[in-house]
Structure 1
Amino acid sequence: MLSPIAYTLASILVAMVAFIGLRFLTAPRPAAAGYGVPAKQDGDDAYLTIKGLRDLTFGVLGAALLAFSSPQAAALYMLVVAIAPLGDTLIVLRHGGTKAVAFGIHFATAIAVLISAALLFAI
């Protein structure tokens, strides 16, 4: 019973992060606003592209691990990748974003990723 829950949660999370990456690549300014720190009009778009590529890569790698490796390898990936939303929480707080976005989106995501790791480790 735990296996379908673990894999479903992990699959949703990796799909979401891949979607966020694609959004940063295709609509960078709206994606940045949703992230919690709007991009400046005269800012360097390269950083938004980097964010998009990072997230898309995390999503694709996570999907590959879920499809082709052991639950423990996928769990370890989830454990390590939780660093990104924890860091995003701090970035939003340090750069004028709201606490609601920092904790309601980024920190909550980190918790969901850590729960996913725990479930995958338990299989």
Structure 2
Amino acid sequence: MTVVAYTLAAVLNVFILFIGMRFLTRPYVAAAGYGVPATTDRAYLEVKGVRDTTFGVVGLVLLVFAGAQAEAWFMLAVALAPLGDTLIVLRNGGTRAVAFGIHLATAVVVLISAALLFAV
């Protein structure tokens, strides 16, 4: 179970780091993938990029240097972000499929990761 817990946490952290970098380098493409396409307000898209990149870096640092318990608490806390993203997509004209299929599903996987890490 330890290998699964650490692997899932590492994959989630690298994935959010990738998403953050995508918002910094290709913000309009990333916004469309997020579920709410944007044609203006690049600065706000870049803010999301910095947020997600930071989550990925902090998660990896915790996993490597602080261990499973610290990473579990981090995952528990950052699950709020995809839950919030679910509401943002729904409130701003995005589809339910994206809101629930991407953002809510991400929150569930992050919470599963937290539970696995707490069990280690």
TM-score range relative to shorter protein: over 0.9
| Inter-partner Cα distance in structure 2 for 1:49 and 1:70 | 30
| Inter-partner Cα distance in structure 2 for 1:69 and 1:87 | 27
In the TM superposition, residue 70 of structure 1 has moved relative to its aligned partner by: 2.3
**Superposed CA offset, 1:44-64 (max 9, x none):** 211001000000000000000
The aligned amino acid for 1:31 is A
TM-score, normalization by structure 2: 0.99
The aligned amino acid for 1:15 is V
Equivalence for 2:11: 12
List structure 1 runs of 4+ shifted beyond 4 angstroms. none
In the TM superposition, residue 95 of structure 1 has moved relative to its aligned partner by: 0.2
| Inter-partner Cα distance in structure 2 for 1:68 and 1:88 | 29
**Superposed CA offset, 1:54-106 (max 9, x none):** 00000000000010012111100000000000000000000000000000000
| Inter-partner Cα distance in structure 2 for 1:93 and 1:56 | 24
1:27 aligns with 2:26: yes
Identity of aligned residues (%): 67
**Superposed CA offset, 1:3-24 (max 9, x none):** 0000000011000000000000
SS of corresponding position for 1:97: coil
RMSD between aligned residues: 0.5
TM-score, normalization by structure 1: 0.96
| Inter-partner Cα distance in structure 2 for 1:33 and 1:121 | 34
Structure 1 segment 57-68 matched on structure 2, within 5 A: 57-68=54-65
1:86 aligns with 2:83: yes
Unaligned runs of 5+ in 1: none
Aligned length: 120
The aligned amino acid for 2:117 is L
